[in-house]
C-alpha cells in the first residue's frame, strides 16, 4: 500500500484534516521503518505483559493471555520491548533482519 494520497484524493481531503473513520492506523504499514527486529525466547518469557503495555505501536500479539510474538507489519523496531523485558528474564532480543 502507498502512504501518499493520489492527486485525485488530494482534492477530496476531509476539511480541517479530520480523519473521518476509525482504525486507519491499522492500514498504515510502518513495518518498513524497521532496522532491528525483535525476537522472543518463549522458554524464558513469563507473560508479564510489560512489553505489551510499553509497545508504542501495539505490535505485541497476545492470545489467550499469552504473549505469542510481534506484529511485524506495524513494529518499527524501536526496541522498547527488549529494554522493558525484565533484566532477570531477558526474553526479547533485537536482531538484524535475516533476509
Partner 1 sequence: MAITGTKGATGLTGNTAIAYAMKQINPDVAPVYPITPSTGIVEDFSSYVADGAVDTELITVESEHSAMSACIGACAAGARVMTATSSQGLALMWEMLYIASGMRLPIVLTDVNRALSAPINIHCDHSDSMGARDSGWIQIYSETVQEAYDNLFMAVRIAEHEHVLLPAMVCMDGFITSHAIENINLIGDDSVREFVGEYKPAHSLLDTGNPITYGAMTLPDTYITFKHQQSKAMAAAKDVAVEISAEFGRKFGRNYGLFDAYRLADAEAAIVILNSAAGTSKVAVDELRKQGKKVGLLRPRLFRPFPFEEITGALKHLKAVAVLDRVDSMNAFGGPLFNEVRSALYDLEKRPKVMSRIYGLGGRDYKVADAVGAFEEVLKAAATGRVETLQKYITL
The x, y and z cell numbers of residue 94, run together, are 533485537
Q: Of 17 and 96, which has the nearer Cβ to partner 1? A: 17
Q: CA 66 to CA 78: how far, in whole Å?
A: 22
Q: Of 16 and 63, which has the nearer Cβ to partner 1? A: 16
Give SS3 for 5.
coil
Selected binder of partner 1 within 1, 20, 43, 88 (CB under 8 A)? 20
CB burial readout 52-69, b (16+ within 10 A) else e:
beebebebbeeeeeebee
Looking up cell 536482531 gives: 95
- Smallest gap, in angstroms, from Cβ of residue 59 to partner 1? 20
- Smallest gap, in angstroms, from Cβ of residue 47 to partner 1? 30
Give the single-character DSSP code of 44.
T
Q: Is 1 in the site for partner 1 (CB under 8 A)?
A: no
Q: Is 5 in the site for partner 1 (CB under 8 A)?
A: yes
- Smallest gap, in angstroms, from Cβ of residue 23 to partner 1? 8
Contacts to partner 1 by CB under 8 A:
4-5, 10, 13, 15-24
Amino acid at each position: 500500500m502507498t502512504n501518499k494520497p493520489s492527486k485525485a484524493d488530494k482534492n477530496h481531503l476531509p476539511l480541517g484534516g479530520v480523519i473521518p473513520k476509525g482504525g486507519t492506523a491499522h492500514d498504515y504499514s510502518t513495518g518498513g521503518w524497521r532496522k532491528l527486529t525483535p525476537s522472543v525466547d518463549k522458554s524464558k518469557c513469563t507473560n508479564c505483559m510489560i512489553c505489551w503495555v510499553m509497545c508504542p505501536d501495539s505490535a505485541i500479539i497476545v492470545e489467550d493471555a499469552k504473549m505469542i510474538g510481534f506484529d511485524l507489519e506495524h513494529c518499527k523496531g524501536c526496541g522498547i520491548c527488549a529494554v522493558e523485558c525484565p533484566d532477570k528474564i531477558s526474553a526479547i532480543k533485537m536482531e538484524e533482519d535475516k533476509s
